[in-house]
Amino acid sequence: MNEVLIYSDKPSLAAELVGFAREEEHDVTIVTFSPEEASELVGCGASKVVLLDGDSDIPENNARALAGLIDEWGVSLFAVGATPRGRDLAARVAGYLGCGMASDVSAVHLLDGKLSTERLMYGGAMVRSEEFSTPVVVTIPSGRFEAVRGVDSPLETIVIQPDMRVHLVEREPLSQEGADLSCAPRIVSVGMGVSKREDMALIEGLAAALDARIGCTRGIAEERGWVPAEQYVGISGVSVAPDLYLSVGVSGQVQHMVGVRDAKVIVAIDKNEKAPIFREADFGIVGDLYAVVPLLTDALVTAR
């Protein structure tokens, strides 16, 4: 059985990575640097949770010590949640180990000391396959695997020596206006087919009827500024994996569809019957969104 070590500063993403390890029947341990996160992670279904007490406010300062533990424990795969902090820590650990690393993979398979990965290239137009000898470090975005829950895992604390060459000078809260779409079961996404800002009320009404979050294309967030940037879905935005992704006035260019390829059901509303999104959608409605959306909203409200 291969040993898999997991880290993510987002406990929900750590639970997804445990789902991957359990799916392939690997022994899995979660590491964390936060006592608060440790108490949440014990219910994620791992074999155990290890709190690394390095007495440092900067997790990246513990990369060298973590690399030493990975070598000592004979870990085959260090799987890291693909958050900004996770990517930083993963690269440092791979550097200290002198091992292979693959970023933002969409599939991982570990067997007999070999690791194969797949990741999207060129805006999702190609899939790149790679093979590594273990140990290997990979980063994995949210939405790739199903989170698991189990009985509480044993919690162990190990004291480590951090690298204190980097010091925290100041903290400033990051202002986030938009909703977190990563765990949303239903998303209504708005595209450039919506012509006026006041027409966003149509989208909000439809989202409310579905109890859904609102997503958008890049143009809506960055050019028009109608929706916070955190809700922009696409290759340079967020990737989502909802049960239902309902797009309204979204043409479906590849840069956008990369972010929704893991949605279970895609429904598209657009007046252009040749819009690329209809090639990706499970269900399509060709029609004027200003006629279709109110009818759909009324039908959903009536059905409740």
Q: 237 with 264: CB under 8 angstroms?
A: no
CATH of domain 186-303: 3.40.50.1220
Q: 94 with 100: CB under 8 angstroms?
A: yes
The terminus-to-terminus CA distance of the chain in angstroms comes to 49
Whole-prediction pTM value? 0.75
Asked whether the domain spanning 186-303 has the same topology as the one spanning 3-159, the reply is yes
The CA-atom distances, in angstroms, between 227 and each of 26, 83, 231 are 41, 22, 7
**Domain residues of the chain, as ranges?**
3-159, 186-303
In this predicted structure, what is the pLDDT of residue 174?
62
**Hey, what CATH class is 3-159 in?**
alpha beta
Per-residue pLDDT of the chain (304 residues; tens, 9 = 90+): 458 899 999 888 888 888 888 877 778 899 999 888 888 888 888 888 999 998 887 888 999 999 999 999 999 899 999 888 999 999 999 999 999 999 988 888 887 778 888 887 776 677 888 899 889 999 988 877 878 776 788 899 999 998 888 888 888 876 666 677 877 899 999 999 999 999 999 999 999 999 999 999 999 988 999 988 888 898 778 888 899 999 999 998 888 988 888 899 999 999 999 999 999 899 999 999 999 999 999 999 988 7
In this predicted structure, what is the pLDDT of residue 1?
43
Question: Which residues have a Cβ under 8 Å from the Cβ of 241 and sit 6 or more positions away?
Answer: 142, 143, 144, 262, 263, 264
